[in-house]
Structures are given as C-alpha cells and as structure tokens.
Amino acid sequence: MLTTQFLLLGAVLFCIGVYGVLARKNAVMVLMSIELILNSVNINLLAFSVRHGSVDGNTFALYVIAIAAAEVGVGLAMVLLIYRNRRTIALDDLSEMKG
Amino acid sequence: MIAADLLVAQNVGFGIISLLMIIGAVRVVTVNNVVHAALWLVIVLSGAAAQYLLLSAEFVAITQVLVYVGAVMVLFLFGTMLTRARIGAESDLNNKNWFLGIPVALLMLGVMSYVIVDGFGSERLIENSGDMQPIPIQVISDDIFGPYLLPFWALSFVLLVAVIGAIVLARKD
C-alpha cells in the first residue's frame, strides 16, 4: 500500500465536504458535510500513524471522533432552536447579524 | 513499483471501499432528500471504518462504528424528523449560488493532489504490508493517559459543556 492512496482519498472526501458546506442551504445537510470533512482528516491521521510507526495518530483520531460527536450534539440542538423560533432551517434566511 | 504490487488483496479492498465511499460522499452532497443523504452518509462512515481496519487501527474502527454509525446517525435522523413536517424530496436544499462551490472544490482538490503526489510519490506506507501489526488497545490507553492526558481532560470538559449546552438549548421553557 502506498501513502499517496490514503492521502488522495482523504483529499477527495475533504473537497466533496467543502463543496457540501458551500452549496447546501439546509443546516442539517451542512452538518453532514462537516462530518465528511472530519472523516477525511481521520483517514489522514491514521495513515500517518502507520507511516511513522507511532500510536499518536490513533489517539488523535479518537479525540477527533469525540469532538465531532460533541459538535453534532450542540449543532443539532441549535438547529432545533432555530426551527422552533423561525419555522425554517434555511441558513440564508438567518441574516440578522449581516452587516 | 512493479505491477504485481498493485494486485495485493489490501489494494483491491482499498479500491473497492474507496470507490463506494466517494460515490456515497457525492450522493450526500447532491441528493435532494435529507433522509436519503443521511443513509448515504452511513455508507461513507462505514467505509471509513473499513479503511481504518486496513490501516490496522482496530480500536478506532470500532469506535467509528459505535459513535458515528450508531449515535451520530441517530442524532441526524432525529434532527431531520424534528425539523421537517414531511419526509420526502425537497427542491430547495441548495443555495442559489451553489454552482460556485464546484470550482472551489475542484481547485482545492487539484492543489492538494499535486502537493500529495509531489511530496509522497510512490512511497510505501510500510516496507512490507505483511508486517502491519494491529495496535493493542493497551498501547493506545498508555498514550491517552500518558503524554496526552491534558487534552483528554480538556476533551472531557468539552463533552460536559456540550451535553449541558444541548440540554439548555433544546429545553422548552
């Protein structure tokens, strides 16, 4: 196995996730795209963990998974709150803080 | 690199799994139904767990299945069902300027691919793929509770705050 193949897979998933964050309007879909980005980072961390013969990459990957779980919990709570107040979760309708 | 190296079982498995993952990821960002997108995301996350197994990271793969495919997916489906009256195709999931995302993503992919191929080329991940040993959980725990104890404490605090924050935000009062 080559290092490049894992890094390229991570890069492809990352770019698809970035496209999703930019293109989607629905807040839940944006959160899903962020999950794609975090997973691509995890693949890179584990590939480098094997490459350097060190266990640190596994530790970091576990931390990333935990942070992602917390982020999804808080993010969906915010989405529910926005939905309760506005009856919509379209992100471009939330423009009160626009300068 | 000789051609015979390309056909070891690990590479074939990698190719099939990554093809599934990329198709699933593209469907996640293009499909017009939030529930379908969540189910495509399950394929991507399970594929990532399989890649972790290929990288001999068994504990991370199991955690991925438990946390992502188990907990996070249920959260997404709950969020979908609580914020939408009907389960079905929607036509307005995208921004009106959604096409601007395509050149941005392609440009990033081009730059990153060039840098990765230029930097690592045909370098092997490990000299002999048969030498890859699964990492014992004991070693991971020694790492977490040794040099990375402080981040672990911070992480516990973040999780606590996230739980309290989610309760406070979603509470009806």
Record: fold of A25-90:
Helix Hairpins (1.10.287)
Q: Are B32 and B89 in contact (CB under 8 A)?
A: yes
Q: Are A76 and B75 in contact (CB under 8 A)?
A: yes
Domain boundaries, chain A: 25-90
- How confident is the model at residue B173, as a pLDDT? 65
Show pLDDT as tens, one digit a residue, over chain A (99 residues). 788 999 999 999 999 999 999 998 888 899 999 999 999 999 999 999 999 888 999 999 999 999 999 999 888 888 888 888 887 777 777 777 776
Instruction: For residue B37, list chain A residues with Cβ-Cβ distance below 8 A.
Output: 29, 32
Residues of chain B with pLDDT under 50: none
- How confident is the model at residue A77, as a pLDDT? 87
- How confident is the model at residue B85, as a pLDDT? 53
Helix (H) or strand (E) holding B172: none
CA distance B6 to chain A (A): 8
Query: What pTM, to 2 d.p., does this model score?
Result: 0.90
CB-based contact A4 B123, cutoff 8 Å: yes
Q: Are B123 and A4 in contact (CB under 8 A)?
A: yes
CA distance A70 to chain B (A): 6
- How confident is the model at residue A63, as a pLDDT? 95
How large is the ipTM? 0.90
CA distance B58 to chain A (A): 10
Say if B55 is an interface residue toward chain A (CB within 8 Å): yes
